[in-house]
Amino acid sequence: MPLTRRTLLAATAATAAAHALPAFAAASPVTFRHGAFEVSVVSDGHLVLPTAFLAPDATPEQRAALLKAAGQTGETYDSPTNITLIRSGNDLILIDMGSGDRFMPTAGKLWDNLKAADIDKSKITKVIFTHGHPDHLWGAVDDLDDMTLPNATFYIAGAEWNFWQSDDATRGLPAERAGFVTGARRNYAAIKERVKMFKPGDEVQSGIHAVATPGHTQGHVVLALAGGDGLIVGGDVLTHPLISFAHPEWRPLADHVPEQAVATRKMLLDRLAADRSKLIGFHLPYPGVGTVERKDGAYRFVAAV
């Protein structure tokens, strides 16, 4: 593919916005009100990933233009991991649980950052998972494989649970990611007695609905919070502040079902741009809160915090 005018326009227009986005490594949660909810974003640290991982469909020139605009150069880039914490009535609800201590040394900081903010993790009553990748699930157990939150109830999409338990999980992943399956099964086994299954469209908690967003994984969901123009806790549908928005058709290597993931990205971007809903992006620059606008035939992320 040539280095297109669209890529250059997106890269040029996004440079100032990208540099203006907040740093992701802050320990202090960012908190705001949304309808009946108090929403906080807490950093779990970050992942260190190869830049080629982002967009193998793109030429090096295309990829480099957008990465440079995002302030990312070299062979690797830092990908923030932002955890959403919701206070709703008497419930304290986590959306995903971070990496724990077995994935990357730069991640797994959730519990330390909660403690630093005087938030008692034992008060967390519910956890809702978007999907079963390590940086979202592996914080469910500690270094002894004991539950990190033994008193919480865990909500998992049935399709996602079934995928990781099936033979398709091992057949459908590259050999270098076989450990994802082992880890998912280890964490699921530890919490299984406290798991409740849901399906897309269900109201998982009062005012919080699950929305089907398959492709990144087979049962991936995002969570839609009622109130105002809406708020989407976006999991891994949109994982880069420029590439995911300017080129949703590019297929990052992390997507299990690439063409389905492309269709899902476009669907969610269209919904966010049309509704003006807020988005919390798990891998967007900390705290990952913003809105989506249409731009140059595609989209752009506008940070709101």
CA distances for 20 relative to 129, 144, 214, 295, angstroms: 30, 41, 31, 18
How much is the pLDDT for 166?
Answer: 95
Residue 13's pLDDT is 39
Residue 36: pLDDT over 50: yes
pLDDT at 289 over 90: yes
With a cut of 60, say whether residue 19 has pLDDT above it: no
What percentage of the chain exceeds 70 in pLDDT?
91
Which one has a higher pLDDT value, 195 or 177?
195
Paired strand residues for 272? none
Question: What mean pLDDT is predicted for residues 131-154?
Answer: 97
Taking Cα atoms as reference points, which of 246, 145, 151, 142 lies closest to residue 193? 151
Which pTM was predicted? 0.90
- The whole-chain average pLDDT of the chain stands at 90
Phi-psi region of 192 (alpha: psi -120 to 50; beta: other; left: phi over 0): alpha
What span, in angstroms and rounded, lies between the C-alpha atoms of 284 and 280? 8
Give the pLDDT mean for 280-302: 96
Supply the pLDDT for residue 34: 97
CB 269 within 8 A of CB 227: no
Residue 207 has pLDDT above 50, yes or no: yes
Mean pLDDT score, 55-60: 86
Taking 90 as the threshold, does the pLDDT of residue 128 lie above it?
yes
Distance CA 132, CA 180 (A): 8
Lowest mean pLDDT among 13-27, 99-113, 241-255, 270-284: 13-27
- Between CA 228 and CA 127 the distance in angstroms is 24
pLDDT confidence band for 194 (50 / 70 / 90): very high
Residue 9 is predicted with a pLDDT of 38
Q: Is the pLDDT of residue 303 over 60?
A: yes
Full set of structural domains in the chain with CATH? 5-303 (3.60.15.10)
> Is residue 200 a contact partner of residue 210, using CB atoms and an 8 Å limit?
yes
Q: Give the integer Cα–Cα distance in Å for 188 and 186.
A: 6
Band of the pLDDT at 125, cuts 50, 70, 90? Answer: very high
Supply the Cα-derived Rg of the chain in whole angstroms: 18
Whether 135 has a pLDDT exceeding 60, the answer reads yes
pLDDT at 20: 37
The candidate with the shortest Cα–Cα distance to 137, out of 200, 28, 44, 254, is 44
C-alpha dist (Å) from residue 72 to 124, 151, 242: 35, 41, 11
pLDDT (0 to 100) of residue 27:
62
pLDDT at position 67 is 85
pLDDT category at 66 given cuts 50, 70, 90 is confident
The whole-angstrom separation of Cα 25 and Cα 27 is 6
The stretch 41-51 carries a mean pLDDT of 95
Q: What is the mean pLDDT of residues 4-14?
A: 37
CA 184 to chain centre: 16
